[in-house]
Structure 1
Amino acid sequence: MKQGKIKNNIIDLRSDTLTTPTEEMVLFMNKAPLGDDVYKEDPTVALLEKKVAEMFGMEAALFCVSGTMSNQLAIKAHTSPGDEVICDRSSHIYLYEGGGIAVNALCSVKLIDGDSGRIAPHQVKESINNPSDVHQPISRLVSLENTTNRGGGAFYDFEDIRKIKKVCEENGLILHLDGARLFNAISETPQSPKDYGEVFDSISICLSKGLGSPIGSVIIGKRSFIDKTRRFRKLMGGGWRQAGSLAAAGIYALDHHIPLLKEDHRRAKQIGEILKKSGYAEEVMPISTNIIMITPRNCNAIDFVAKMKDKNILCTAFGDRLVRFVTYLQITDSDIEEFKRRMVGCSS
């Protein structure tokens, strides 16, 4: 049952991590059989991992507490200390995972100035170090983000991904996907999860953003790779016991909530139009999925967020000049109408 997100007169558009389980999801979670997942004895966790692996046509999967953990496990498992990771300058693995690449994998990073968080095949090729030059780290891993968070929810043209894969194959590099919002991209393109599984060596997908689970991400890849990440997950304190209830939420989300993502995208475009007409935005970035990025007019991001808070609208500052709004499962058409009323004075 979908209900509006206005709570205590507040419209909260800070992030799609704010989703909460629907009543139907809670009922499904409560019925889940449980076991000890560290011993690989939780049947619901095993079912989720099998389901996701088969969905992407890959050998195995591992249920993790967060997308940050699953990304960091992938990077650590794919690399050796001193290697280099190639990614966009605005990518989540670089900006928003606590320096984990350096701390967990002991790797350096080659940053690319991409287009709305998307890097091009020729940029990847130009970023690969000469493996014979002892002064440079070994280029080992390329990480893409789809959709892009700081890039405003933009998604890749799949042919560009194929070209990047070819560059990786020709140079012995591994290709990882931070697919925290991958299903948002899939909802807007002809590709299927299996298409992604054929191209990437590993994929991280998040269940707790647009799909509406309370917690959890899944990492997918070859069985030997997943066995390695399972060991590292334990090393990082990420082994969990009776996690089946949370896994059940993920199963329910995958079965029922993927078609709803396009509604989030529709509402995001409506918010973008409202912001354009409001006079508050100097620029609204192109809206592809559920993220709206704007440059405020005549103020910095922090001041703009404060102005919105005065209207009981919550959003997020991204540096000095960018502000993010995000739609998600609990944001309804009535919420959008109320947002419009507060921004431009139109009656609902």
Structure 2
Amino acid sequence: MTISVEHRNGHSELPLDTSAWHRAESQAAYDFRSDYVTCPNLSMLQSIINTSLGDDVMMEDSTTNDFQAFMADLCGHEDALLAMSGTMANQVALRSALTCAPYAILADRRSHIITLEAGGPSTLSGALIVGVEPSNGHHLTIKDVQRHAQLRDDIYDCPTRVISLENTLNGTVMPLQDVQEISRWARSQDPPIFMYLDGARLWEAVAAGCGTLKEYAACFDSFSLCFTKGLGAPNGSMIIGSKTFIKRCRWWRKAVGGGIRAAGVVAAPARVAVEQVFLGGRLQATQMMAKRIAQRWESLGGTLEHPTETNMIWLDLDAAEIDKEVFADMAQQVGIRTIRREIVGHEGRLVMHYQISDDAVSRLFGLFTAVLGERKCSNGVEKLQ
């Protein structure tokens, strides 16, 4: 295979061995562990070859500068900053928002900044984390926030300085109306409480028709978007906010080692991912398939831990009395990959992405029949040993 490359002295063709890429794409087609297990497509790889190679620490890379401006405009904010990962974006943004201790962050107790980012807010920001259990079992409401936010500035208190929400969370959508209510209340306080969103999968909420990107973005002082989750880019997340805030984020990104040399190799494929997968409307088909998978599981007598609202299906393996390791082993035997115990509590999670093949879904349906359809008895589902 050859890929076109523009040189200063003219046009040439660069031969590439794509065998490794074909293997990676084939593996992604049968991998239900997450939506970041995708393989960069050929358009993304070509964008890397053709990109500018400037230094983003000195803000000299045209591809990155253009992409940051593009994302800020897409979201209706002033500025944006490319980060290497979703965790880096979250931690840089939170550290930039917390300017004068003591301070506390209020968040859903299930949120990634609490459970899956190595204690970053405590380690990097020294913040008190207030993890709140949603009273409705689905998402935080204004009443949950008002009940747990610390507004006093007594010498004994640690005031809430940031409300950090996450959308989507476990594949479920936080409704726009609830986000707007929390935002209005937070901004009405004296001083206002900073509104932050871990929007790594906000694409999915928008694709589900629950609100536009700009409608959600308007509720937050800053938020992050991830280009690997669902969109298929090889790397990168974006922090969105005001020019003043993004300038502060640049300092903290540098402090944690996130300065990017030759930044176009990250920015170029990420932009392709946004344009082709998100703006190209490919997430809707993924979500429809996720709902089909959930319906098949339930039609065989299985139950779900969480509703399937976007691209995640949460099989309740405990309720079906199915050993989680056995389930993962059987999945491997039929040629598909699911989560094992490395991520505790996620073993029943299946995640759809746009590179999952129809054959992989057929194999998954066969697995469902094997563990549910053929093991029903008068007392329910027999336990797999």
Q: Structures share a fold, TM > 0.5? A: yes
Aligned to 1:265: 287
Aligned to 1:343: 368
Distance 2:148 2:155 in 1: 16
Query: Which of these residues, 67, 80, 83, is aligned with residue 86 of structure 2?
Result: 67
Aligned AA for 1:155?
A: V
Matched, 1:232 2:252: yes
Aligned to 2:8: none
Distance 1:109 1:86 in 2: 6
| Runs of 4+ residues over 4 Å off in structure 1 | 3-10
Given that 1:5 and 1:335 are in contact with CA atoms closer than 8 Å, whether structure 2 keeps it comes out as no
Matched, 1:168 2:191: no
Aligned to 2:157: 136
Query: Which of these residues, 207, 210, 217, is aligned with residue 197 of structure 1?
Result: 217
Distance 2:291 2:267 in 1: 32
Q: Mark the runs of 5 or more structure 1 residues left unpaired by the alignment.
A: none
Aligned AA for 2:102?
A: G
Shift of 1:300: 4.6
Q: Mark the runs of 5 or more structure 2 residues left unpaired by the alignment.
A: 1-21, 374-385
Matched, 1:12 2:31: yes
What SS does the aligned partner of 1:11 have?
Answer: coil
Shift of 1:322: 5.5
Distance 1:130 1:340 in 2: 51
Distance 1:210 1:97 in 2: 19
Aligned to 2:356: 331
Deviation digits for residues 117-137 of structure 1 (CA, Å, limit 9, x no counterpart): 521111111111142322221
Deviation digits for residues 98-143 of structure 1 (CA, Å, limit 9, x no counterpart): 0000011110111111155521111111111142322221110001
Segment of structure 1 superposing worse, 302-311 or 189-198: 302-311
Matched, 1:312 2:335: yes
Shift of 1:343: 3.3
Q: 1:232 to 1:320 in 2, by over 3 A?
A: closer
Given that 2:96 and 2:245 are in contact with CA atoms closer than 8 Å, whether structure 1 keeps it comes out as yes
Shift of 1:231: 0.5
Distance 1:311 1:263 in 2: 24
Aligned to 2:310: 289
Given that 2:338 and 2:347 are in contact with CA atoms closer than 8 Å, whether structure 1 keeps it comes out as no
Distance 1:8 1:139 in 2: 45
Aligned AA for 1:268?
A: A
Deviation digits for residues 216-265 of structure 1 (CA, Å, limit 9, x no counterpart): 00000011110101100000001010020220111111111111001110
Aligned to 1:154: 172
What SS does the aligned partner of 1:314 have?
Answer: coil
Shift of 1:196: 2.2
Deviation digits for residues 262-307 of structure 1 (CA, Å, limit 9, x no counterpart): 111011112212323455x443531110011121111354443334
Distance 1:33 1:6 in 2: 26
What SS does the aligned partner of 1:103 have?
Answer: helix
Given that 1:295 and 1:322 are in contact with CA atoms closer than 8 Å, whether structure 2 keeps it comes out as no
Aligned AA for 2:350?
A: F
Distance 1:225 1:9 in 2: 37
Within 5 A, what are the aligned runs for 1:210-229?
210-229=230-249
Within 5 A, what are the aligned runs for 1:66-85?
66-79=85-98, 80-85=100-105
Segment of structure 1 superposing worse, 15-24 or 295-304: 295-304
TM-score by length of 2: 0.83
- Size of the alignment, in residue pairs? 341
Shift of 1:97: 0.5
Using CA pairs below 8 Å that are at least 6 residues apart, which structure has the higher relative contact order?
1
Matched, 1:274 2:299: no
Segment of structure 1 superposing worse, 316-325 or 35-44: 316-325
Given that 1:285 and 1:293 are in contact with CA atoms closer than 8 Å, whether structure 2 keeps it comes out as yes
Q: 1:268 to 1:108 in 2, by over 3 A?
A: same
CA RMSD in angstroms, aligned pairs only: 2.4
Distance 2:28 2:93 in 1: 41
